Structure 1
Amino acid sequence: MGFGEKRGDYYRARYWIAPGVLRTVVDPNGATVRYSTKRDAAKAANDHEAKVRQVGWRDPNAGKETFGEYVNRWYAAQDLAASTMQNYKRHIEEHLLPEFEAKAIADIQSTDIGAWEKKERALYAASSVKTWRGTLHLILADAVDEGLRDANPATKRRGRGKRAGRSRNRGPEKVVTDALGILLVAERASLLSGRDDEFVATVLKGYTGKRWGEIVGLETEFVRPASIRVEWQLYELDTGELHRCPPKDDSYRTVDTPAWLSGLVAGQITRTKPKPCQCHGLTYVFRGLGPANDAARQVGAKLVDVARRAGVSTGTVSNVLNRPASVAEPTRIRVEIAIAELGYVRGGSSGETAAHWRRNGFATWLFQPAATGWYPKKAPQAARPVPVLADPWPGVPARGRGAQARADACWVPIAKGLTPHGLRHTHKTLMEGFRTPPKLMDERMGHIDGSVQARYSHITRQMREDLMANLTAAWEASLDARLAMCPTSPVAVLNDLLQERLRALR
């Protein structure tokens, strides 16, 4: 029902064109009509609302709102996960507004979107452009629902009569590995980090299919004797904040774990004795690697500042700190004076280890070199093999200056292109090989099958026991294969597992 709304010394007529969508009565030029009484305004509003109810009516002012104005209103109305809101904001601000901000919603045509997409594809990956177009489609679909447009110009006709075109932009299939691959990648990642955490986390991911955020956000209270409960994840926002939020698509679940895997995780907790982190006040199974972010960002002199003050290279400053005898005395004294004058504190004042892994740091500098045997490109250095000392096998990464010259060998690839998320695909692939019932696979992966078949199938205890037995057999076979390569490992937790397996075989 329309109504009159007081606006200073006049009334304006307001009427509804859709649930939650109000309009104001305007003249042919688009200016608000001013009424002297509330009754006159209400009558005009009701007359316009009656027209709205007529079949085929369309708001004459629909779509005149610019894309920029509409998308601001649209974004403010969303109530989604912080990660989703962050992604929408990035898509809108960096890719949609620069092109469509000043265009009226009703004036955006499919040809405009096609031209924009062509420009974007020349600069960015096709998969990224597809994602941004999906966001644009969603925004314009809501504009259609509000009556601002008759149709969505971002909708694509499927196939377009070209059979080959359907797969032209499809990404490559995800790289997976097998049980032995999981073990070997986990061992190498642990050798690169110099601790057992990465071994346990990689094996846990490969044998449970948990998402990355669920591994990082695994709290000790959700580790059970024969299962792990997925209640939370830590999602890394663009600001660097690790946001504690429910698992993706609210996929709360209990993931069964074989006895050997439960023991591996329990041993990790016993060995590291984790304490509550400062960011969330909660106790997590796994710790980060490297200095804490707050320590790294502390205000104060850095190594490069000392080098500039003393007029030497950062390498010379490093030598003064680590091998002072190798530096000429006048240079050493000059560096020490610069350190004293600037108040430089080596390694930061806190010396704390980061509370949590960062996705890029783990994937780029631990997982990728472990899987491929190569460090990625980082200016000024090109991509290069991981230099290793041959003894003990499988080789300990050589570090520091002259590492390439001191190395005896380098690692061969285990699975080129494998990513941490690829271990989730690996776990699903392993279960397919075990002929695991689809219902149980969906439960472990946190997926929902809405089909009638899924509704009428159920998980039994025997199904769970069979899967645990198959996972255990795969794990023991990978240990046997690793024993055949070498009966020992520089990774302490793996070495203990190998010796235990060796005793069991004897």
Structure 2
Amino acid sequence: MPYPEQRGNKWRVRWNTGKKHPETGRWIYDSQGGFDTRDAAVAYGLDRESDIRNDRYISRRDGAILMSEYCKTWQQTIDVGHLRQRNVEQYIRLYIEPRWGDMAVADIKPSAYRAWEMWLKDQPNIGDRYRGEILLVFSMMMDDAVDDGLRQASPVIKKKRRRGEYKKKPRERKRNMRIADVHQIACNALAYWGLDGYVYVWTFAMTGMRPAELYGLRPEYCHPNWPASDPRVDPEEEERYEEDMERYAGDDPMPAIRVEWQHQRLQGTGTPGLYVPKYESRRTLVIPQFLAGLLEMLLAAREGEWVFTSINDGPLINANFPYQYWRKFADGRDAVVEFERMRLGQKQTVDSRRPVPALPAVERWKGKRQYLMRHGHKEWLDEDGHSRIATESRMGHELAGVEGLYSNVTPAMERAIMESLQERWERFVVTLPEGWEPPPSPTPLPVDLAEWMKLQVKAAQAKSS
């Protein structure tokens, strides 16, 4: 039974929460004041006791936890990959805590949430997908606050399925990936970056690896070293190690790359580190013979920790690759011989340390992100009619259901992929004009790339005749 008390010309009501203090063992009471009549105070207290009996009650003490404090606790409860963790921390730091940090968890109202949602929508620097991620994280926090007994219900009203006319969501427009365009991008990369750039682009197009996986590709996991050079660090993978040696280095070897790591930055510190690939998609990728030759030439010319290094011979993770590299390859650029700079308050014209010739734009790729080359690789596999299990496994995906459970990638499937990619290359090189020469590299090439290409053309012509 609630206990009404008169305070001046108003009434207050107290009720037993059904909980005892952990140290004193006494009952814990909550109270609410400001009622005009005794009956109103008693009715309010009866409602709270009903909530307690039906396990709906949120004490004022629990609900008074500030969002700034709850944000810190909540982040420690989620178990996600490091990239997702970093994104969640960013959403909370930039948008959730600044708006809700000074408010009690229990005091967030649906109307206030809807106003914030509209505010996010009006911000020019927040796209639809990014805004959706912010709201998703906030919704998860509110659902967990309900489970933690800090709220009765989430202020985020779950949207019901709309009825009526279907409206298709806009998707990024893509065009089919032509090998001639890949060739031009690779030539631009050669002229701007050197042999690393040329081989990087062809490896990207012919394997469909994720960019971070290319950044983290190490010589011990790359042809011609792998599989003999595999560190074999996992005792539980001994069966796979032996099978790899038989399948890729046996009597009829298939050159391949082993995707074991991606190179990303550690959350919080920004320090580069090696992580397992996205979705833990460790996998082996067979490669066509021409790419195997390029990788052999690249790795024979130097020793180092990475297969692909930056212009300054450092790890690619330290370069702003999408802007400093990819945009030059895809969008083109003017020749740079001289440039202006301000020094000691005076404008100077100085010679460029890396004079680079003009790079032609690749029209279909202007403004397009490099990740679409991974999409284009899957297009090629689909065009050549490879099985779904072989294609999806190569992309680092898993097939759901019975199809994925019963399927398996066989050596014959891998060899078919390797041969179809080689045939695609050979069909292209025979179309090159006679006497084609690669663009000049900003650094001396360890091999005669022009002579290598002539041999490729000659071999392709001999096959087609």
User: Do these two structures clear the TM 0.5 threshold for a shared fold by scoring above it?
Assistant: yes
Query: What is the percent sequence identity of the aligned residues?
Result: 24
Q: CA deviation at 1:155?
A: 5.2
Matches within 5 A, 1:348-387: 353-358=313-318, 360=320, 362-373=321-332, 386-387=333-334
2:383 maps to 1:433 = yes
What are the within-5 Å matches in structure 2 for residues 44-443 of structure 1?
56-61=55-60, 63-123=63-123, 124-154=126-156, 156-157=158-159, 160-161=162-163, 163=165, 165=167, 167=169, 170-174=170-174, 177-193=177-193, 195-225=194-224, 226-236=255-265, 240-274=270-304, 283-290=305-312, 353-358=313-318, 360=320, 362-373=321-332, 386-387=333-334, 397-401=335-339, 411-414=360-363, 415-443=365-393
Residues 109 and 501 from structure 1, CA distance in 2 versus in 1: closer, same or farther, beyond 3 angstroms?
same
Residues 1:260 and 1:233: Cα distance change in structure 2 (over 3 Å): same
Cα separation, partners in 2 of 1:409 and 1:242, compared to 1, 3 Å: closer
Offset at residue 110 of structure 1 (A)? 3.7
Alignment CA distance shift 1:182-1:457 (3 Å):
same
- SS, match of residue 399 in structure 1: strand
Mapped partners of 2:454, 2:73: distance in 1? 63
One-letter amino acid matched to 1:271: A
Q: Which residue of 2 aligns with 1:37?
A: none
Give how far 1:217 is off. Answer: 0.6
Contact 1:189/1:370, CA 8 A, preserved across alignment: yes
Give unpaired runs (5+ residues) of structure 2.
1-18, 33-49, 225-254, 340-348
C-alpha contact (below 8 Å) 2:337/2:356 kept by paired residues: no
Amino acid at match of 1:230: V
Question: Relative to structure 1, is the Cα distance of residues 215 and 158 closer, same or farther in structure 2, using a 3 angstrom cutoff?
Answer: farther
Q: How many residues align structurally?
A: 373
Q: How far did 1:57 drift? A: 4.3
Deviation per residue, 1:355-403 (Å, 9 max, x gap): 334453x221321122122xxxxxxxxxxxx22xxxxxxxxx4432499
Q: Counterpart of 2:369 in 1: which secondary structure?
A: coil
Please tell me whether the aligned partners of residues 289 and 357 of structure 1 are also in contact (alpha carbons under 8 angstroms).
no
Shift in CA distance, 152/265, structure 1 to aligned 2, threshold 3 Å: farther
On the 8 A contact 1:176/1:423 being kept in 2, the answer is no
3-state DSSP of counterpart to 1:235: strand
Alignment-derived partner of residue 413 in structure 2 = 463
Deviation at 1:431, TM superposition (A): 1.0
Q: How far apart, in 2, do the equivalents of 1:399 and 1:239 lie?
A: 38
Does the aligned pair in 2 maintain the 1:434–1:470 contact within 8 Å? yes
* TM-score with structure 2 setting the length: 0.71
Give, in whole Å, the separation in 1 of the partners of 2:104 and 2:408.
Answer: 52
8 Å contact from structure 1 (residues 178, 430) kept in 2: no
Tell me which amino acid in the other structure corresponds to 1:417. Answer: G
Match of 2:236 in 1: none
**Quick one: structure 1 residues 409 and 272, their matched pair in 2 at CA, closer, same or farther if it must change by over 3 Å?**
closer
C-alpha change, 1:141 and 1:178, in structure 2 (3 Å) is: farther
What does residue 478 of structure 1 align with? 428
The code of the aligned residue for 1:60 comes to: S
Q: Is the 8 Å Cα contact of residues 179 and 428 (structure 2) preserved in structure 1?
A: yes
Unaligned runs of 5+ in 1: 14-24, 31-50, 275-282, 291-352, 374-385, 388-396
For residues 416 and 209 of structure 2, the distance between their equivalents in structure 1, rounded to whole angstroms, comes to 20
Matched residue, 1:18: none
Where does residue 343 of structure 2 map in the other structure?
Answer: none
Q: Deviation per CA, 1:449-468: give whole Å up to 9, x if none.
A: 22222223332222212111
> Would the aligned equivalents of 2:191 and 2:356 in 1 still touch at CA under 8 Å?
no
Q: Could you tell me which of 489, 495, 500 is aligned with 2:438?
A: 489
Distance (Å, rounded) in 2 between the aligned partners of 1:408 and 1:454: 49
Shift of 1:94: 0.5
1:108 Cα offset (Å): 2.6
Which residue of 442, 447, 453 corresponds with 1:498?
A: 453
Deviation digits for residues 194-241 of structure 1 (CA, Å, limit 9, x no counterpart): x11011111111111111111011111111442111111111357542
What displacement does 1:115 show?
Answer: 1.9
Which whole-Å deviations, capped at 9, do the CAs of 1:309-353 have from their partners, x for residues lacking one?
xxxxxxxxxxxxxxxxxxxxxxxxxxxxxxxxxxxxxxxxxxxx4
Give the TM-score of the pair, scaled to structure 1. Answer: 0.66
Change (3 A) 1:409 1:232: closer
Instruction: Tell me the CA shift for residue 188 of structure 1.
Output: 0.5
Higher mean C-alpha deviation, range 228-237 or range 408-417 = 408-417
> Secondary structure in 1 aligned to 2:257?
strand
C-alpha separation in 1, matches of 2:377 and 2:120: 35
Aligned-residue offset at 1:176: 5.4
Looking at structure 1, the residues matched to 412 and 434 of structure 2 have their Cα atoms a distance apart, in angstroms, of 35
Shift of 1:89: 1.2
In 1, the alpha carbon distance for the partners of 2:412 and 2:113 equals: 54
> How far has the Cα of 1:29 moved from its partner?
4.2
1:287 and 1:357 in contact (8 A); partners too: no
Alignment partners' CA distance in 1, 2:122 and 2:337:
40
Amino acid at match of 1:400: E
Distance (Å, rounded) in 2 between the aligned partners of 1:183 and 1:159 = 46
| Secondary structure, aligned partner of 2:366 | coil
Task: Tell me the amino acid that sits aligned with residue 438 of structure 2.
Answer: S
